[in-house]
């Protein structure tokens, strides 16, 4: 075989042939032996990023080609010539590659130029391909570094290092490749896995980042923890303006956070795709219907199966796949060499620089210290987490290090109870990481660990103050987040305090607290079984109500100025011999909230006004009376309490007149704070026989139809004036057949009130 060495050259070669297009050169006068194959032709062409020399045909056309890749010249221009032995070059090569013992024979030389001048820089080196007659190795130079180059699959090559002698093994840190050259000059090579990348220093890095619970396992396999309820950048590229961020929230404990949602933020233009609990997906706040068929939205491919939702997108030759099942996110990146990413997936310990306040609540960083959970058995959990190092998981241990997954599992389960499929969550995250690396773990572990492949809580959507967890029955349901639930649990209550006001009561229970207790809200009712709770679909609050039209079995107790309402929330008692539902009985007691404010009680000074009228042959009397009921049976008297805003009915009646001949018309009515009808301030009730538009409480009935009519209004007082209230009305007496109306004397009803302030609670 022959040695191929690429190195910087400042030599000029006379008689060089210049070419600018893909060219086939005849090198039969200096044939090249490459891996025991002799080549007499070389095919050279320019690609978008390289100058390529191949031996079986032009690059890209032959699937079994042997090629050498050089740097791209500034211009599509290069020179070719065949050189004789050069002692100076011979010396330089042997000093650079000490495994070479043969002397240089002829050489095939290619040269490129930058700015029409030959230079010796890393950005645009002059390339030389030199041939040495040797019997035991083939070497290729790349840039200013000697290396062996071979082709394994079409358009996919592996670069290995300098001089490999027969019967030796060499590890190449630049490519993380181990090359074995046997005594008979055959070779084998091993390197990073298909889903890994080399860091250039001999370390294979996984291209998968796993975020589950409060833990982050980054691309480097390092484990980090999120201790608050804020949003963080998992992966970002400022040059290409895209970001993958994660939001964390608490579940059953306030001091342990869990991954809650993942957001893809793309600049195409301003696209935000939210992957949320239950497999729900939103784009810029629009909910999408994602199925098992791949759908494309704004350049992002989305599909959903029983395991979760997967989103795939490409930016700047970087393909990113994000999987999320509602609790675990796994991000896989296929990126070209030299790609630079930031975020927790690049460095899981960089908490301070990856926090995103603009996507977080102002209180997300508040720390809590909940008491230890006495149901947690750390030794048992550690033992269970360590099964990731045993069969069948051990078949993947060499490809994907289980250590960070084991530590993530036990550190979480030593502080948080093993509920809601949490243990399975960590096992599945490791199995999926193995699958992404091309290693399939035998699924026999699923039945033994009782871990279903179906995502827990798939298609269960909860509100922001809730999370999907396992209820007492074992079924998934929306349970309260610990911070939200803390104020209720501290008072040992299932909801807010009852509110009673103006003969109406409202009691609201928290839906997720009922779920946690295993209480079915549809079985609850007040003392009257027909008064059931109503679930608000937006807040998940269950509300019970009663009012004066339907008191729902409420007991109303009046003690002086205070009114107490008593009822109870209970469930339907089972008629079966056994039941699996707790018997619920929640006492309700509240006071009328109106008593919390100033209440003014009016006392009627005059129960009625009677005016005797004599006019010509007519002798009759007019009366004006006030009542507290619509049927006008409860006459207001000096002992009657009339509250502010209470409705009063006033009847005006003429006695002694023939109703077939005469009609009484109430023309004007108004209220003043002084006895004089001409005093101010005043408030009009009736004008020209009709209710005033400014007071919607006024209603007039039967006006001008006979010898009596009545009207109603809600009691008022004049702002800032404490004293009597006077009601004035003017009436007309009309002859029906002649439509002739005669004004009669004004009537005055004095409604005197005495303010009484009742104590609140």
Three-class DSSP category at 202 = coil
Q: Which of 198-207, 322-331, 382-391, 404-413 has the lowest mean pLDDT?
A: 198-207
Dig out the tokens for 747 from the structure: 């009537």
Average pLDDT over residues 337-366: 89
Same domain, 149 and 201: no
CB 129 within 8 A of CB 80: no
Residues in the chain, overall count: 761
- What mean pLDDT value characterizes the chain? 78
Q: State the DSSP H helix or E strand holding residue 91, giving kind and residue range, or none if neither.
A: helix 87-96
Please give the Cα distance from 409 to 427 (Å, whole number).
8
What is the tens place of the pLDDT at every residue in 412-445? 999 999 888 899 999 999 999 999 888 899 999 9
559 pLDDT band, cuts 50/70/90, is confident
Same domain, 738 and 627: yes
HSE-CB at 441 with a 13 A cutoff on CA atoms is 31
Is 761 domain-assigned? no
Q: What is the model's pLDDT at position 293? A: 96
The dihedral of CA 367, 369, 374, 379: what is its sign? positive
Average pLDDT over residues 225-237: 96
Q: What is the model's pLDDT at position 158? A: 31
131 pLDDT band, cuts 50/70/90, is very low
Same domain, 569 and 666: no
Q: How far is CA 457 from CA 107, 287, 313, 475, 737, in A?
A: 69, 18, 26, 9, 81
Closest CA to 759 of 643, 564, 602, 595: 595
Same domain, 201 and 152: no
State which of 379-383, 446-450, 568-572 shows the largest mean pLDDT: 379-383
611 pLDDT band, cuts 50/70/90, is low
Q: Which of 170-184, 442-456, 649-663 has the lowest mean pLDDT?
A: 170-184
Q: How far is CA 731 from CA 631, 661, 705, 708, in A?
A: 22, 17, 13, 11
499 pLDDT band, cuts 50/70/90, is confident
Give the domain-ending residue among 163, 182, 201: 182
Is 5 domain-assigned? no
239 pLDDT band, cuts 50/70/90, is confident
Same domain, 388 and 285: yes
Q: What is the DSSP string of 122-162?
A: SSS----BB-BB-SS---EEETTEEEEEEEEETTEEEEE-S
Is 338 domain-assigned? yes
| 300 contact partners, CB below 8 Å, separation of at least 6 | 264, 266, 271, 273, 311, 312, 313
CB 580 within 8 A of CB 474: no
Give the domain-ending residue among 431, 461, 491: 461
Is 204 domain-assigned? yes
Same domain, 273 and 404: yes
Instruction: Say which residue, 342 or 657, is predicted with more confidence.
Output: 342
Residue 718 above 50 pLDDT? yes
Is 367 domain-assigned? yes
Residue 516 above 70 pLDDT? yes
Q: Residue 500: count other Cβ atoms within 10 Å of its Cβ.
A: 24
Instruction: Say which residue, 611 or 50, is predicted with more confidence.
Output: 50
Residue 141 above 60 pLDDT? no
Is 222 domain-assigned? yes
Q: What is the model's pLDDT at position 758? A: 27
CB 659 within 8 A of CB 707: yes
Q: What is the model's pLDDT at position 382? A: 96
Q: How far is CA 677 from CA 654, 673, 717, 728, 747, in A?
A: 22, 9, 16, 7, 10
Q: Which of 184-188, 391-395, 513-517 has the lowest mean pLDDT?
A: 184-188
CB 456 within 8 A of CB 469: no
Q: Which of 48-62, 195-209, 322-336, 539-553 has the lowest mean pLDDT?
A: 195-209
Q: Global pTM?
A: 0.57
Same domain, 114 and 177: yes
Q: What is the model's pLDDT at position 1? A: 29
State which of 85-89, 147-151, 450-454 shows the largest mean pLDDT: 450-454
262 pLDDT band, cuts 50/70/90, is very high
Same domain, 310 and 424: yes
Please give the Cα distance from 602 to 110 (Å, whole number).
112
Please give the Cα distance from 345 to 321 (Å, whole number).
13
- Domain with 359 in it: 192-461
CB 234 within 8 A of CB 345: yes
Q: Residue 223: count other Cβ atoms within 10 Å of its Cβ.
A: 18
Average pLDDT over residues 284-294: 93
Same domain, 372 and 412: yes
Sheet containing strand 107-112, edge to edge, reads 17-19, 78-83, 107-112
Q: Which of 169-173, 504-508, 533-537 has the lowest mean pLDDT?
A: 169-173
Residue 698 above 90 pLDDT? yes
Please give the Cα distance from 184 to 585 (Å, whole number).
89
134 pLDDT band, cuts 50/70/90, is very low
What is the tens place of the pLDDT at every residue in 577-589? 444 455 678 888 8
Backbone φ and ψ of 168, nearest 5°? -135, 165
| Residue 392, preceding peptide bond in cis (omega within 30° of 0) | yes
Q: Which of 249-253, 575-579, 674-678 has the lowest mean pLDDT?
A: 575-579
Q: What is the model's pLDDT at position 522? A: 93
Q: What is the model's pLDDT at position 148? A: 37
Closest CA to 96 of 2, 200, 3, 202: 3
Same domain, 290 and 437: yes
Average pLDDT over residues 526-537: 94
Q: How far is CA 366 from CA 256, 257, 467, 468, 487, in A?
A: 12, 12, 19, 23, 16
Is 466 domain-assigned? no
Backbone φ and ψ of 312, nearest 5°? -130, 135
Give the domain-ending residue among 596, 615, 637: 596
What b/e readout covers 439-457, taking b as 16+ CB neighbours within 10 angstroms? bebeeebbeeeebeeebbb
Q: What is the model's pLDDT at position 660? A: 77
CB 184 within 8 A of CB 168: no
What is the tens place of the pLDDT at every residue in 89-123? 677 666 666 555 667 667 777 777 543 333 333 33
CB 656 within 8 A of CB 623: no
| 377 contact partners, CB below 8 Å, separation of at least 6 | none
CB 291 within 8 A of CB 297: no
Residue 43 above 80 pLDDT? yes
CB 540 within 8 A of CB 516: no
Which three-class secondary structure string do you get for 517-580? HCCCHHHEECCCCCCECEECCCCCEEEEEEECCECCCCEEEEECCEEEEEEEEEECCCCCCCCC
What is the tens place of the pLDDT at every residue in 463-484? 999 999 998 878 899 999 999 9
Q: What is the DSSP letter of 389?
A: G
Is 223 domain-assigned? yes
119 Rama sector, left if φ>0, alpha if ψ -120 to 50, beta otherwise? beta
CATH number at residue 553: 2.60.40.3210
Same domain, 590 and 679: no
What b/e readout covers 624-659, taking b as 16+ CB neighbours within 10 angstroms? bbbbbeeeeeeebeeebebeeeebbbbbbbbeebee
Three-class DSSP category at 430 = helix
- Give the count of domains, the chain: 4
Same domain, 669 and 526: no
Residue 140 above 70 pLDDT? no
Average pLDDT over residues 143-160: 31
Sheet containing strand 50-54, edge to edge, reads 23-26, 41-46, 50-54, 67-71
């Amino acid at each position: 075989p022959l040695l191929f060495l690429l190195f910087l050259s400042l030599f000029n070669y006379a008689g060089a042939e210049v070419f600018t297009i893909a060219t086939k050169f005849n090198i039969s006068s200096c044939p090249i032996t490459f891996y025991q194959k002799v080549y007499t032709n070389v095919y050279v062409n320019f690609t978008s990023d390289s100058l390529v020399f191949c031996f079986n045909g032009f690059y890209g056309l032959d699937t079994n080609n042997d090629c050498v890749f050089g740097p791209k010249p500034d211009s599509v221009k290069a020179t070719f010539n065949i050189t004789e032995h050069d002692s100076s070059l011979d010396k330089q090569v042997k000093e650079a590659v000490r495994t070479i013992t043969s002397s240089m024979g002829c050489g095939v030389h290619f040269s490129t130029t930058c700015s029409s001048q030959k230079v010796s820089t890393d950005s645009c080196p002059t390339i030389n391909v030199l041939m040495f007659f040797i019997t035991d190795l083939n070497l290729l130079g790349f840039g200013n570094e000697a290396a062996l180059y071979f082709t394994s699959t079409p358009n996919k090559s592996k670069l290995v290092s300098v001089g490999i002698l027969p019967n030796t093994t060499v590890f190449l840190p630049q490519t993380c490749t181990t090359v074995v050259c046997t005594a008979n000059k055959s070779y084998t090579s091993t390197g990073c896995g298909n889903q890994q990348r080399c860091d250039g220093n001999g370390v294979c890095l996984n291209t998968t980042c796993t975020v589950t619970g409060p833990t982050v396992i980054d691309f480097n396999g390092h484990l980090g923890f999120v201790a608050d309820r804020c949003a963080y950048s998992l992966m970002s590229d400022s040059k290409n303006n895209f970001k993958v961020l994660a939001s964390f929230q608490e579940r059953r404990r306030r001091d342990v956070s869990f991954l809650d949602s993942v957001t893809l933020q793309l600049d195409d233009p301003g696209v935000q795709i939210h992957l949320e609990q239950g497999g729900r997906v939103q784009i810029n706040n629009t909910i999408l219907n994602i199925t098992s068929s791949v759908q494309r939205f704004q350049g992002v491919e989305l599909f959903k199966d029983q395991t979760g939702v997967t989103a795939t997108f490409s930016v700047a030759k970087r393909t990113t796949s994000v999987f999320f099942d509602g609790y675990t996110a796994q991000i896989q990146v296929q990126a070209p060499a030299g790609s630079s990413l930031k975020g927790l997936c690049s460095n899981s310990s960089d908490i301070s620089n990856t926090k995103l306040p603009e996507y977080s609540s102002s209180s997300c960083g508040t720390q809590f210290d909940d008491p230890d959970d006495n149901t947690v058995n750390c030794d048992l959990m550690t033992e269970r987490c360590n099964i990731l190092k045993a069969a069948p998981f051990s078949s993947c241990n060499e490809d994907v290090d289980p250590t960070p997954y084991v530590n993530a599992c036990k550190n979480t389960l030593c502080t948080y109870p093993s509920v809601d499929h949490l243990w399975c969550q960590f096992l599945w995250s490791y199995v999926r990481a193995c699958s992404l690396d091309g290693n399939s773990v035998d699924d026999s572990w699923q039945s033994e660990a009782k871990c279903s492949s179906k995502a827990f809580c798939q298609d269960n959507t909860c509100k922001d103050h809730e999370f999907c967890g396992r209820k007492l029955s074992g079924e998934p349901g929306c349970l309260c987040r610990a911070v939200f639930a803390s104020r209720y649990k501290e008072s040992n209550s299932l909801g807010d305090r009852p509110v009673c006001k103006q003969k109406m009561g409202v009691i609201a229970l928290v839906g997720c607290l009922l779920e946690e207790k295993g209480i079915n809200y549809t079985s609850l009712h007040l003392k009257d079984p027909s008064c059931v709770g109503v679930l608000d679909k937006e807040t998940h609050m269950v509300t019970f109500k009663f009012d004066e039209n339907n008191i729902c079995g409420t007991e109303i107790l009046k003690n002086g100025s205070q009114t107490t309402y008593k009822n109870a929330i209970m469930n339907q008692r089972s008629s079966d011999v056994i039941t699996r539902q707790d018997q619920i009985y929640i006492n309700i007691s509240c006071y009328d909230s109106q008593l919390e404010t100033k209440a003014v009680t009016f006392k009627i000074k005059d129960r009625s006004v009677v005016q005797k009228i004599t006019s010509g042959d007519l002798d009759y009397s007019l009366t004006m009376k006030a009542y507290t009921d619509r049927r006008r049976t409860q006459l207001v008297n000096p002992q009657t309490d009339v509250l502010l805003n209470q409705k009063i009915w006033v009847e005006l009646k003429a006695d002694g007149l023939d109703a077939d001949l005469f009609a009484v018309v109430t023309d004007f009515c108004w209220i003043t704070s002084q006895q004089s009808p001409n005093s101010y301030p005043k408030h009009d009730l009736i004008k020209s026989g009709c209710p005033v538009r400014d007071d919607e409480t006024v209603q007039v009935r039967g006006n001008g139809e006979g010898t009596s009519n009545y009207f109603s209004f809600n009691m008022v007082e004049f702002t800032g004036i404490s004293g009597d209230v006077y009601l004035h009305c003017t009436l007309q007496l009309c002859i029906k057949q002649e439509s002739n109306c005669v004004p009669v004397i004004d009537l005055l009803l004095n409604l005197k009130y005495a303010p009484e302030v009742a104590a609140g609670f």
